[in-house]
Amino acid sequence: MNAVTQARLQVLVGTVAFLGFDQATKWLVNESLLPGDRFRLIPGIFQLTLTYNTGAAFSLLNKNQEFLIGLSGVILLLLLIYLFTRISFRHGEVLSLALLLGGTLGNLTDRILTKHVTDFFDVVCIHYPIFNMADIFILFGALGICVSHFRSTKTVS
């Protein structure tokens, strides 16, 4: 197996792992809290608050599930095209792609199965929108791709 094929396999395995972790955390929160319940971890700073988001980030496009499912599908398709047309990968791209794919699939799974995304991380000290593991994966995956393209010339080929 050549290095590029191995890198692609690592992305796919990582994707499944991140998707599984995202779905497990959402299941755990859904089993432990009722919508609107709060579980204070660091009073005044951070808590778990179960909410169901029918929109995208910051509740944008609220109640437009069909559009958001389609958009997620297009993003997934573009990420898979990127993954399978690369002839080499920069340092950090494999992990970043797995994070992006796992996070996108995590929220897409919610949208398809429940018509909403389960959010629960609540940073109350800055009044930031409530988010989930998939959102974290997407953020760090996107940042990782950017960093890998601007900082790294090393590749796996």
String of DSSP letters for 21-38: HHHHHHHHHHHH--TT-E
The pLDDT of residue 127: 83
Q: What average pLDDT does range 4-26 have in this prediction?
A: 96
**pTM of the entire structure?**
0.91
Given a cut of 90, whether residue 54 has pLDDT beyond it is: no
- Residues 6 or more apart whose Cβ sits within 8 Å of residue 9: 1
Given a cut of 90, whether residue 85 has pLDDT beyond it is: yes
110 is catalytic: no
More confident residue, 79 or 151: 79
Locate the domains of the chain by residue range. Answer: 3-156
The pLDDT of residue 62: 72
Indicate the average pLDDT of the chain: 91
37 is catalytic: no
Catalytic residue among 22, 110, 122, 135: 135
